[in-house]
Structure 1
Amino acid sequence: MYGFGSKTALLEDFASTSLTKYSVVVVNGYLQGTNIKQVVVALAELLWDQLKTKRSPSRSSSKAQQPFNSRSMDDLLAFLDGSEDTTNECIVCVVIHNIDGPGLRDSETQQCLARVASCSHIRIVASIDHVNAPLLWDKKMVHTQFNWYWHHVPTFAPYKVEGMLIPLILAHGNTTQSAKGATIVLQSLTSNAQSVFKVLAEFQLSHSNEEGMPIDNLYATCRERFLVSSQLTLNSHLTEFKDHELVKTKRNSDGQDCFHIPLTNEALEKLLADLCPSTLCRFYVLIQVAIIQNFHSRLKR
């Protein structure tokens, strides 16, 4: 499942209505401390419970009764893919919120999840939010092991649960921690959303004595840079920023809504550097300027 907005409620509703006849394990990939070995052990224990109800006591296996948490990962995966249930009636479903989340994003974990997905007794449904999430997988993982069916489900729901658990706290902590937390959130958003945030950040760095960037100015700048096509699009980005506490709103002396980022200038500069390395950033700006100049020259003709 992919698309703008949190898909947590959607997946949980699917699990509670469509997967009721199966054992279900829910994995929260947005948690930093997610332990893939514990997940696989839980799957094996649930599958073993199902198999026990289908076999007679005389057919019980001493190996299968060995505690799963003491067995190797290869042994666990072999069990999940075993042929003890030749009818494949014993199925365990895995619901993964943010399979591209910080708790599951490393290569070793993704390889393990791909092997789990290819096991005969396992079915997986998952959500992704990072724009580059498919780069986590090679062709074998996508087409043979995971064998995804892709569903575009833009819910436009705020990332309340996912965002709440990210150690952001922009107004506190040191510069490095604040910039790193904001970077983690921004990297999960679209490139357009990141560019809108950069407009705010650049304005704040060059107008440090002002209360924030008026929404009319922000909209005009984003339109000029072809980042948004309407006020509605801009509002959706701003809602996302506010949900993650990336920006704050206040009224200026003219009664106009202004947006500011609760970070020091030092943290903002580090954040921009993390999002767009200097060389690449200059190249991007030069390309963007060239496009705009070419566009204006065509209009004059």
Structure 2
Amino acid sequence: MDLMDGDEEEFGFSRNYFLAKELGGSAKKSTSKISDINVVDEQDLRAAASKLAPKHEREMTSLLNSYESLYSKWTFELRCGFSLLMYGYGSKRALIEDFASTALIDSGVVVINGYLQSINIKQAVVTIAETLREQLKTKRSLTGNMSKVHQPFSSLSMDDLLAFLEGSKTKDNDCFVCVVIHNIDGPALRDCESQQSLARMASCSHIRMVASIDNVNAPLLWDKKMVHTQFSWCWYHVPTFAPYKVEGIFFPLVLINDGKTQSAKTAAIVLQSLTPNAQSVFKVLAEYQLSHSEEGGMPVSGLYTICRERFLVSSQITLNSYLTEFKDHELVKTRRHADGHDCFYIPLASEELEKVLQEIA
């Protein structure tokens, strides 16, 4: 009897399932679209977000205070030649700056905000070199290559600056400059050249590095030599659960008016990650679109002619590779012209396109 009851119960579930599917299929479907959502202006959305009441402030403050017991250990590891890498959920900006301002008062500290959309690595290295030279002058330990440099650091090349940092040999091992990098995996530092420069700088005898990461794929930026020989990371899991207020302000919001500002800012971010030649090709197309707004777009032949005259491309194949990359990122679209030829256009309004050009200028 129990077996029969079980079979009947299972049959009842199956029947109800197919009845529900049948009723669901015959029901009237909604005609609403995502585009029908009446989204707000970006400034209004940011203002509303700033008024949200913070939660668990006392617990987060207690968590930050608990990390103070590690400050002496972190300082010791820095003096031994290691670098510190902080990871974990939440913004680690306040934690690292508190550590630097309380435990590293005897050494120079240079802060690099990796969460910014564009960073001048050379200018940062110039500042680090100037800080190190002043510190060694104060301790009267200026020797070797340090005393031979008379010209301004800003006039030196990147290789010369790094060679200057690598060539500074003194007997004072406690004399070092601590480079604090918030988000070493930030958008402007993810390219191979920037990471190689940072790794080479971290291996200098008078440079120590304290950095944070927030992207789960950040370790893919480095090879084995960079991790163990140049950076010499000491990894620390320090979740803070703090909001990314400062870091997030430089990224566009999603729920904004018609997605125009979102598209413009996204386009600028993507273009800044491309090569200078690719940016110049996009600029040619954008300038043509702004000056010929009545046309449906720019023909491929005209784009190729101008780009070749400006030595931006050497062949049609090179131009096609740029255009393919633009289309993959939805920066450029195609449409059929009145004469039957395909032309390219940028799906942005004129004012938004001008903002994009200003961003990549």
Shorter chain as normaliser: what TM range?
0.5 to 0.7
Given that 1:2 and 1:153 are in contact with CA atoms closer than 8 Å, whether structure 2 keeps it comes out as yes
Partner of 1:100: 185
Stretches (4+) displaced over 6 A? 56-62
Structure 2 residue aligned with 1:285: none
Q: CA deviation at 1:80?
A: 1.2
Q: How does 1:30-69 map to 2 (within 5 A)?
A: 30-55=115-140, 63-69=148-154
Contact kept? 2:108, 2:131, Cα under 8 Å:
yes
Tell me the distance in 2 between the aligned counterparts of 1:175 and 1:78: 43
2:175 pairs with one of 90, 111, 125: 90
Q: Which residue number corresponds to residue 28 of structure 1?
A: 113
TM-score by length of 2: 0.47
Give the corresponding residue for 1:168: 253
CA distance in 2, matches of 1:125, 1:36: 16
Which residue of the partner structure matches residue 282 of structure 1? none
With over 3 angstroms needed to count, the CA separation of the structure-2 counterparts of 1:174 and 1:93, relative to structure 1, is: same
**What does 1:105-116 align with in structure 2 at a 5 Å threshold?**
105-116=190-201
Which residue matches 1:177? Answer: 263
Instruction: Please give the alpha-carbon distance, in whole angstroms, between the structure 2 residues aligned to 1:56 and 1:167.
Output: 48
Q: Secondary structure at the match of 2:96?
A: helix
Give me the whole-angstrom Cα distance separating, in 1, the residues matched to 2:134 and 2:196: 26
Aligned length: 185
Q: Secondary structure of the residue that 1:149 maps to in structure 2?
A: strand
Superposed displacement of residue 52, structure 1: 1.9
Residue 125 of structure 1, aligned match among 210, 217, 230: 210
Letter in 1 for 2:201: V
| Contact kept? 1:170, 1:178, Cα under 8 Å | no
Aligned CA distance change for structure 1 residues 154 and 55 (closer, same or farther; 3 Å): closer
The 2-side partners of 1:27 and 1:123 are apart by 13
Cα offset, 1:169, TM superposition? 5.7
- Partner SS state of residue 111, structure 2: strand
Provide the C-alpha distance between the structure 1 equivalents of 2:248 and 2:174, rounded to a whole number of angstroms: 38
Unpaired runs of 5+ in structure 2? Answer: 1-85, 271-327, 330-361
Distance in 1 (CA, whole Å) between partners of 2:145 and 2:208 is: 25
Describe how 1:1-301 pairs up with structure 2 within 5 A: 1-55=86-140, 63-168=148-253, 170-172=255-257, 173-174=259-260, 177=263, 180=266
Q: Secondary structure at the match of 1:126?
A: strand
Shift of 1:86: 2.9
Deviation at 1:11, TM superposition (A): 0.6
**CA distance, structure 2, for counterparts of residue 47 and residue 55 of structure 1:** 12
Listed one character per residue, the Cα deviations across residues 140-188 of structure 1 (whole Å, up to 9, x for unaligned) are 111110010000011111111100122336413428727948x99xxxx
Q: Is the 8 A contact 1:169 1:178 kept in 2?
A: no
Q: Distance in 1 between matches of 2:224 and 2:253?
A: 34
For structure 1, the 5+ residue unaligned runs are 185-272, 275-301
Amino acid at match of 2:157: S
State, as a whole percentage, how many aligned pairs show the same letter.
68
Tell me the CA shift for residue 114 of structure 1: 0.4
Report the Cα distance in structure 2 between the residues aligned to 1:59 and 1:179, rounded to whole angstroms. Answer: 47
Q: Relative to structure 1, is the Cα distance of residues 179 and 47 closer, same or farther in structure 2, using a 3 angstrom cutoff?
A: closer
Q: What do the CA deviations read for 1:105-158 (whole angstroms, capped 9, x no partner)?
A: 111101100001000010000000001000011111111100100000111111
Asked if the contact 1:29/1:96 (under 8 Å) is kept, the reply is: yes
Which residue does the alignment assign to 1:220?
none
Cα offset for 1:93?
Answer: 0.3
Q: Which amino acid aligns with 1:152?
A: H
Q: In structure 1, the residue corresponding to 2:204 is in which secondary structure?
A: coil
